[in-house]
Structure 1
């Protein structure tokens, strides 16, 4: 089983008429999307998050159950569900405004961290749950505790509207890097964290910090991967873009699923991967991200919907 950790929320998409502003609510949050994406790719997975006991929290719980995501690590709270107001640019890129002060998914504390059995082979942390408190410190504690025992993955997914102080992001990402095995970041993440420094230079510095595999996504241009094998670049299939919401989460889900299918469930196995195998894996993940861009919202693909799957 793979354990995903972080926020679960509702994205609100607004449409404006002359007399009113109407919102369509969709379930989301990068870790929530990732857990669903893994389940859709046939991976046993669970989500560790604080989940509201309100009606929205119950809908999130029911959706996870329908998708086949294990709910044993959901921690219910008498607190509101985070809401995210989403605006799409003309090119389909999302911009987010978060409303989550004292919300349930931020309230995970150290006492909520589960004692994990041998069936849990990997753990993921990412997005604004890295920097929101107390959840951020709790997830860092878990990553540090499980380092060397399970495969640890990280996706910074930097959201300045959730935490505008980029120094907070830099410090927290650095702390997670020190114990993470696989890191996926977008070009936008890298530019926000380290303006003026190329993605390749940043990726190599992360390898020097101890990460085993670094993948930098480049939108329609595909992705680059860095590791002991050197550097590879994988193209992404061309699609008619509806929007890019959830594309990074689909990429990460396919990356983790691909590692699992290849038996790469520990750091030692990760270190043995060669350039050709990493290229195949990265291309599969890029195809998953592209498939998500072809439809509205974070509607992550199943295996048969990914070009070149197999």
Structure 2
């Protein structure tokens, strides 16, 4: 467990999300799961840096400004253009992505050990950059807590068996792992989410959390603990960034030594606040605290 003041190094991609809906102009939002996670941590008051790639273009400037506006330290290698994704929303606000992205992060070292490291999504499994990410994690994992979110993108994962191998390598390097039921269904077709989570615990993590969309989330710990939290009912604007907000709040709560039930309550509430508004727009610490108080009172009535 890390201190709430410990610096978190997030490693992974930034993506300009081009949100497209019928009958409306395109809207560009800063995105990318690791970038969203770093932003969400900073909004909750956690010192965070993002090791990533950005182009010297309008999208790159938009994303950098967005991250730096909340205090995220951006450590970016310059690439020809900032990765992008066209995001199409269905009638329920659920997002489908079409990517234009590469990941070529060069070998990187750190001057000092971070308090924690988070890796995830495209940057953790896409070569040639993934080799640099994993080498960095392997070097520092004995001195920093490691968290991981596979955030599976089937269109970018390649052949399933190889994707599973890469994901499981990341799981084995991690102390805390979060996945969605959709991630697990793609990785392990036909296997119940809880069975997959239990198997991941045997690879090394002390905690595996699984989000279930409208059904909330559950988490399993290596000491045999299990908790489940229902989703917080809200009017959904879109689901962009919900899982990243969940992960940020989960890490934030764990750093304060919150018990597993409390961690899940904070995480599902943060996700609910995010889906209630457009784009990857996670809550501040004050918003999360207010929402937790509001939902707690409502549940007591």
TM-score > 0.5, shorter chain as reference: yes
| Equivalences for residues 160-179 of structure 1 within 5 A | 160-179=154-173
> d(CA) in 2 for partners of 1:80 and 1:107?
12
Aligned mates of 1:45, 1:94 — CA distance in 2: 27
| Counterpart for residue 96 of structure 2 | 95
Deviations 1:152-188 (A, max 9, x none): 0000000012234222321111111111100000000
2:21/2:89 contact within 8 Å kept: no
Give the match for residue 107 of structure 1.
104
Decide which of 272, 279, 282 is 1:300's aligned counterpart: 282
The structural deviation recorded for 1:305 is: 1.9
Look up the match of 1:8. 14
**Misfit runs of 4+, over 3 Å:** none
- In the alignment, which residue of structure 2 is the partner of 1:270? none
Secondary structure in structure 2 of the residue aligned to 1:136: helix
**Greater shift in the superposed pair: 159-168 or 212-221:** 159-168
How many angstroms apart in 1 are the aligned matches of 2:262 and 2:227? 10
1:266-293 deviations in whole A, cap 9, x for unaligned? Answer: xxxxxxx8xxx11111111111001111
User: Greater shift after overlay, 220-229 or 191-200?
Assistant: 220-229
Which residue in the other structure is 1:145 paired with?
139
Aligned residues: 285
Measured in 2, the distance between the counterparts of 1:244 and 1:116 equals 37
Residue 264 of structure 2, aligned match among 274, 278, 282:
282
State the TM-score, normalizing by the size of structure 2: 0.90
1:97–1:162: 8 Å Cα contact kept in structure 2?
no
Shift of 1:14: 2.0
Give the Cα separation in 1 of the matches to 2:285 and 2:229.
Answer: 19
Q: Distance in 2 between matches of 1:15 and 1:175?
A: 37
Q: Deviations over 1:230-269 (max 9, x none)?
A: 211112211111111100000001011112223xxxxxxx
Aligned counterparts of 1:92 and 1:64: Cα–Cα separation in 2:
24
Q: How does 1:204-223 map to 2 (within 5 A)?
A: 204-223=198-217
2:262 is the alignment partner of 1:261: no
Report the CA distance between 1:116 and its aligned residue. 4.4
Secondary structure class of the residue paired with 2:86: strand
Using the alignment, how far apart are the partners of 1:217 and 1:139 within structure 2?
25
